[in-house]
Amino acid sequence: MANVISKYSSNRDNNFNLIRFIAASLVLYSHCFPLTGLNNAEPIINYIGFSGGVIAIDIFFIISGFLIANSLFTNNVFFFIRARVIRIYPALLVSIIFCVCVVGLFFTKAPLLTIF
């Protein structure tokens, strides 16, 4: 009997962490060349026409889409929306507060009252 992808998406017996690690390593590899001043010297570009970072970003989007779609199909819509809100909004609020209160104070000449 052939194994189907849905069998591996229902539990943690999959290789998504390994795939993420490889993609993250590919991003680091891709960023090494511009940091050394050797722009467009990445060997992968010569063979396939784009950098390893582009491949890694595509891998991250594919994995995220697969996991989010699996979450939607295995739960009801209200639980899915609640889980997305709980996952996204706390980090968004912390980021906004940090940008306004910390970064905004250092990079603006506006009075403090106009910022808040």
Structural domain boundaries in the chain: 1-74, 77-116
Q: Is the pLDDT confidence value at 37 over 80?
A: no
Note if the pTM is more than 0.75: no
Closest CA to 12 of 70, 85, 55, 65: 70
Q: At 80, is the pLDDT very low, low, confident or very high (cuts 50, 70, 90)?
A: very high
Average confidence score pLDDT of the chain? 84
In sequence order, the 6+-apart residues with CB closer than 8 A to the CB of 52 are 26, 27, 29, 30, 42, 44
Q: Cα–Cα distance between 43 and 87 in angstroms, integer? A: 37
Q: Distance between alpha carbon 4 and the CA centroid of its chain, in Å?
A: 26
